[in-house]
Amino acid sequence: MHSDDKVIITCAVTGAIHTPSMSPFLPVTPEEIAEAAVGAAQAGAAIIHLHARDPNTGKPDQTPEAFGRFLPRIKQATDAVVNLTTGGAPYMTVEERVKPAATFKPEVASLNMGSMNFGLFPMLRRFKEFKHDWERKALEDSRDLVFRNTFKDIEYVLRTLGDAGTRFEFECYDTSHLYNLANVLERGLVRPPLFVQTVFGILGGIGSHPEDVLHMKRTADRLFGRDSTSDCRDGRGRGGQCARGT
């Protein structure tokens, strides 16, 4: 990467994969999420990717009310672009997952580009003790979990949010998801330039080897052109965008 190349940094401050027992630093309450988001923006993040959690248990919460408890403070305290998840948590329906973005009409919303096994159970080898009953169960249940994002689901999110002017961060966990994105682009359901997040290391998706990263980048460049896509997460030095967080 040349020194004059511009890089957009995204920070996902809490996500939905990790559970509260895994780290005392995981933002859970609205105050913690807002503080982490403002801090990330002050540190240089241009985009804040936001999930919400139950403040008592830390369980992912995809209700608009949960997002409404921290969004005003973030918008008042920063000029960062707000990116609301429509991924929510893998066990939620697409109707649940789209509600916060449909309510608040953010500049950007994430959009998962394909169904996949979503295995989080390997983390049980690292973490043995949990504060809340739901944590171990959520990890165990991922042995039999398909994160559903059918073409109908993808079209539903595009239709629900597109008319409000929301742009999309297309989350691609494998090369097949890039081809799914190429399909909706060819059908005229999305327009370039495309904002693509390539995600690595989830059991059920592509691995995290450097060759996997390069393969995703090469595939995206071939399908969409080098000037029409922004590569991200673990793509430092290989594209124009870098995501950090949970």
**Domain presence at residue 232:** yes
Question: Looking at the domain assignment, is residue 64 inside a domain?
Answer: yes
pLDDT of amino acid 148 = 97
Strands 146-147 and 116-117 come out as antiparallel
What does the mean pLDDT of the chain come to? 92
Give me the residue label for tokens 């939620």. 92
- Please report the pLDDT score of residue 215 as a whole number: 96
139 in a structural domain: yes
Task: Please give the pLDDT value at position 235.
Answer: 35
CA distance 171 to 24: 27
Q: Which residue has the tokens 């965008």?
A: 241
45-75 pLDDT, tens digit each: 999 999 999 999 999 999 999 999 999 999 9
Q: How far is CA 40 from the centre of its chain?
A: 16
d(CA 13, CA 147): 21
In the predicted structure, residue 231 carries a pLDDT above the cut 90: no
**For 109-136, what is the mean pLDDT?**
97
| Residue 2, domain member (yes or no) | no
Residues in Cβ contact with 44 at an 8 Å cutoff, skipping those fewer than 6 apart: 9
In this predicted structure, which of 113-117, 118-122, 193-197, 234-238 has the lowest mean pLDDT? 234-238
Per-residue pLDDT of 143-162, as tens digits, reads 999 999 999 999 999 999 98
Amino acid code (one letter) for 75? K
Specify the pLDDT at position 233.
53
CA distances from 44 to 25, 38, 146 (A): 20, 10, 35
Provide the pLDDT for residue 236.
34
The confidence score (pLDDT) of residue 8 equals 87
pLDDT digits (tens, 9 = 90+) for 70-103: 999 999 999 999 999 999 999 999 999 999 999 9
Number of domains in the chain: 1
Give Cβ neighbours of residue 142 (< 8 Å, ≥ 6 apart): 90, 118, 119, 120, 121
Determine the Cα–Cα distance for residues 67 and 185; give it in Å rounded to an integer: 30
Residue 140 CA to residue 124 CA, distance in Å, equals 8
Q: What percent of the chain has pLDDT over 70?
A: 90
Is residue 1 a part of any domain in this protein?
no
Q: Give the Cα separation of 36 and 168 in Å (integer).
A: 23
**Comparison of pLDDT for 165 and 240, the residue scoring more:** 165
Give the number of C-alpha atoms closer than 13 A to the C-alpha of residue 128, restricted to the C-beta side: 0
Q: Is 42 inside a domain boundary?
A: yes
pLDDT over threshold 70, residue 225: yes
Predicted local confidence at residue 164, as pLDDT: 87
Query: What domain range includes position 107?
Result: 8-245
At residue 36 the predicted structure's pLDDT band, cuts being 50, 70 and 90, is very high
Which tens digit of pLDDT belongs to each residue from 152-192? 999 999 999 988 889 999 999 999 999 999 999 999 999 99
| Sheet strand arrangement including 194-198 | 229-230, 194-198, 167-172, 108-112, 81-84, 47-50, 8-12, 241-245
Q: Give the domain CATH number at 32.
A: 3.20.20.70
